[in-house]
Each structure stands twice: as structure tokens, then as C-alpha cells.
Amino acid sequence: MESSVKVEPFDKSVAVAAVTQLATWKTNEFADDAKPEETGLASPEITITVNLRSGKQYTALVGNKKGNEDWYVKTAENPQVYLVKKFNIDRLTKRPIEFRDKTICNLKSDELTEVSVTHDKDSFTLAKQGSAWKATKPASFTADDSKVSTITGAFADWKGQGFAEDNSPKATGLVKPSATIATKSNVKGHGCLLKVGSETSDKGNYFVQANGQPDIFTVPKWSVDRVLVKLDDLKKK
């Protein structure tokens, strides 16, 4: 599988998901009463073309939005107009950058030697001493082993959800990161440095800069919050 636009490194799973979506794509409902000026299909916003091995070609035209959740859609071969849910359109209309691999860190727990989190009053450092993990910051702090294992297991194949449309520090909250996550590894040159910015507008992700890359990732909150734990929750009771 290849991309017509150079995308490196290419994430085949994104392309496979789009193809799977096309193979099972269904309308939400018919829009028989919609007028041409409402649908916008005379000058579609988006054109999706699929070529099959048989030589056949199918084209879907995406016109205007109806409200916040639906789009007017038709095929190029048929006058029937449909309403299709926004999330189905979003799965297909991705920017080229969205096909890039979104790995922000990939370190197995047995490769980690240190995890350092800078997060205001909840900053801490965990270091591997022999086969055990100990908190070296704050001083005289004893961490709960079960909480430590959740943190150290978070870095294996850790991926973002997507990319910010505006990479500027002001838009992403990275003028002054809300937290920094740094790891050290027993594999030379395999540490990770993640700077956490503000939440996305839907509150489901954080903006994250990974390892000094210029493009900013959107990363699910739950996956970041499992590392940004509060000291009271990390402390051994």
C-alpha cells in the first residue's frame, strides 16, 4: 500500500481503516426533499474516488453540512441524495499528515531506567534500582508498586490520535507546557521527551510535542493522565 503524497513514516493502519470504512459505508438516511442550493452538490466540498482491480471506478460527492452532525452526499452516477454522519466523513477525509505514524514513544517497561514527570506540585522521578522501581523525587517518598507498573507500562507503542492543525505554541498551549515527561532507557539513544500543552477544544486530547518534532500530536487524555498521576494517588498508603 502506497500514498500518492510522500508521507514518512507511513502508517498503513490508517489507510486500511479508510478502505474498510469505504467497504462498509452506509448512508444515515435519504434527503429526497433537499434543494440543490441546500446540498451544495453542484460544487462539492469533497470528492472521493475509488478504483477497483476490476477497472471500475466509483465516485462519491460530499456537499454541504446539514446542522452539525450530517453531510449531504451522492454518487457521481446517481441523482439520489443521502445524509451521512459527520464521523463517517471524518474517517475518510484525512489530511496527508494524518497517514503518518503517530508513535510518540515506544519503550517497553524492561527497557526503561527512569521516568521523570514535571507537573507543578505533583512532580516526581522514578528510577529503576536493580529489578525494583524506587521514587527518587520527592525525597523520602515511597511509591505504590501497582501504580508504578501502570506508569512504566504506558510507554510501549504509545501513539497519538492525530496532529494539530495549528502548531503554534500559543494555539497548543506549549508556550509554557503544563507538564513534561522524560524517560531514560537502557537502549542507547532511545529516551523520550514529551511536552504536554493544553487540552483540545473537545477536551478529549492534549497537544503534545514529542522528542522535539515540529509537528504537534493530539494525544488521548486518558493515556497522558495515567502518567500524570497525583502524588497522593502514587504514594504507598
Over residues 182-211, the pLDDT tens digits come to 999 998 878 999 999 999 999 999 999 999
pLDDT attached to residue 136: 95
Q: Which of 197, 189, 119 is nearest to 151 (CA)?
A: 119
Q: How far apart are the first and last CA of the chain?
A: 52
What structural domains and CATH numbers belong to the chain?
A: 12-99 (no CATH), 103-234 (2.60.40)
pLDDT attached to residue 2: 54
What does the pLDDT average to over 91-115?
A: 86
Over residues 207-227, the pLDDT tens digits come to 999 999 999 999 999 999 999
Over residues 142-154, the pLDDT tens digits come to 999 999 999 999 9
pLDDT attached to residue 7: 60
What does the pLDDT average to over 76-97?
A: 85
Burial 183-198 (b: 16+ CB within 10 A, else e): bbbeeeeebbebbbbb
